[in-house]
């Protein structure tokens, strides 16, 4: 909390004393360094960092939010600011950064560490991070948007488990309830999709880790799958994805506000395979973007 207040007033603060001793810092996976780029000039005005797994989705989001904010014109193409790297992409549309983070917490956390440092060096203030993702749903119609109001790790614990110096450590998963409800309240009765506040189950695997039996190897039965998905349902879990535990825990540790907003591609109570047509998936993928764009415009006091 103390860190959060300082972030609003003095520019982002990070809980890493080693950074103060460094004269340069190579944000290698974005191809940007502290000395090669004027980070305060480039990113000092950033207020929102939107991230998601896929590079193309986050490129599309940058253009979409840019047009919604009136800072990108109809045929304009934004440059990829991470063009020196082929790991992640990075676009800026007014006060919004849009970057991809790949699949799973290990990839996402690399992107998040570097984005946090980028904005720390840029002396950005009062920045909100939002993950815009895709997920499996539980007991909700495919195409629903889930705004996480809780998240648990693969062992169903409210902690992000990682290994440092060969020892397991736990960092608490803290969800900003006010932010989650502000984002979910941007839904409209005329929307062709539901927006649901719910608990997210975060796994380290798409196949057995999410109780699927159709991976390349498998030691669980279809009955195990069914029982487990029913168990998740009974525990109030609304969706399954692969990044929220690390995202919430790292953002909390860094003292920045964050939220996770994902669209469901399937209902795991009835199937395990994502089979909807590409154009249907593409329309569903826009839904969290539409919701988050409304939220950002509301925050920036742009008429919606």
Please report how close the Cβ of residue 66 comes to ligand URA at its closest, in angstroms: 26
Please tell me the distance from the alpha carbon of residue 68 to that of residue 47, in angstroms, as a whole number.
16
Please tell me the distance from the alpha carbon of residue 105 to that of residue 260, in angstroms, as a whole number.
13
Please tell me the distance from the alpha carbon of residue 135 to that of residue 244, in angstroms, as a whole number.
11
Please report how close the Cβ of residue 156 comes to ligand URA at its closest, in angstroms: 16
Place of tokens 């502000």: 182
192-251 binders of ligand URA (CB under 6 A): 206, 210, 240-242
Q: Tell me if 132 contacts ligand URA by CB under 6 A.
A: no
Q: Which residue is nearest to ligand URA (CB)?
A: 136
Of residues 190 and 273, the one with the C-beta less far from ligand URA: 273
Please tell me the distance from the alpha carbon of residue 273 to that of residue 179, in angstroms, as a whole number.
32
Can you tell me which of 136, 139, 246, 255 binds ligand URA, judged by CB under 6 A? 136
- Report how far apart, in Å, the C-alpha atoms of 180 and of each of 3, 71, 198, 205, 245 are: 20, 26, 10, 25, 15
Single out the segment in contact with ligand URA by CB under 6 A; choices: 8-16, 82-90, 134-142, 253-261: 134-142
Of residues 13 and 200, the one with the C-beta less far from ligand URA: 200
252-271 binders of ligand URA (CB under 6 A): 265-266
Other C-beta atoms closer than 10 Å to the C-beta of 164 total 7
Q: Classify residue 288 by its DSSP letter.
A: H
Place of tokens 């991976």: 215
Q: Which residues bind ligand URA (CB under 6 A)?
A: 134-136, 206, 210, 240-242, 265-266, 274
């Amino acid at each position: 909390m103390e860190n959060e207040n300082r972030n609003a007033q003095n520019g982002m603060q990070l809980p890493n004393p080693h950074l103060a001793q460094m004269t340069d810092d190579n944000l290698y996976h974005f191809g940007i360094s502290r000395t090669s780029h004027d980070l305060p000039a480039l990113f000092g005005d950033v207020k929102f960092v939107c991230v998601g797994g896929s590079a193309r989705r986050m490129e599309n989001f940058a253009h979409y939010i840019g047009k919604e904010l009136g800072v990108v014109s109809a045929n304009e193409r934004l440059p990829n600011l991470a063009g020196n790297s082929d790991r992640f992409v990075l676009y800026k549309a007014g006060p919004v950064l849009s970057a991809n983070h790949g699949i799973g917490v290990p990839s996402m956390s690399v992107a998040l560490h570097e984005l946090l440092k980028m904005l720390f060096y840029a002396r950005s203030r009062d920045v909100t991070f939002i993950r815009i993702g895709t997920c499996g749903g539980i007991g909700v119609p495919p195409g629903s948007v889930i705004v996480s109001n809780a998240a648990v790790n693969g062992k169903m614990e409210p902690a992000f488990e990682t290994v440092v110096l060969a020892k397991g450590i736990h960092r608490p998963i803290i969800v900003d309830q006010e932010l989650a409800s502000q984002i979910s309240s941007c839904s409209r009765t005329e929307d062709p999709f539901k927006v649901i506040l719910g608990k997210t189950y975060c796994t380290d695997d798409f196949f057995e880790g999410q109780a699927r039996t159709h991976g390349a190897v498998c030691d669980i039965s279809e009955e195990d799958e069914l029982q487990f998905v029913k168990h998740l349902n009974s525990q109030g879990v609304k969706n399954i994805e692969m990044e929220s535990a690390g995202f919430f825990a790292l953002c909390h540790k860094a003292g920045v506000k964050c939220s996770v907003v994902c669209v469901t591609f399937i209902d795991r109570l009835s199937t395990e395979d994502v089979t909807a047509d590409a154009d249907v998936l593409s329309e569903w993928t826009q839904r969290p973007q539409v919701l988050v764009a409304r939220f950002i415009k509301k925050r920036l006091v742009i008429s919606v």
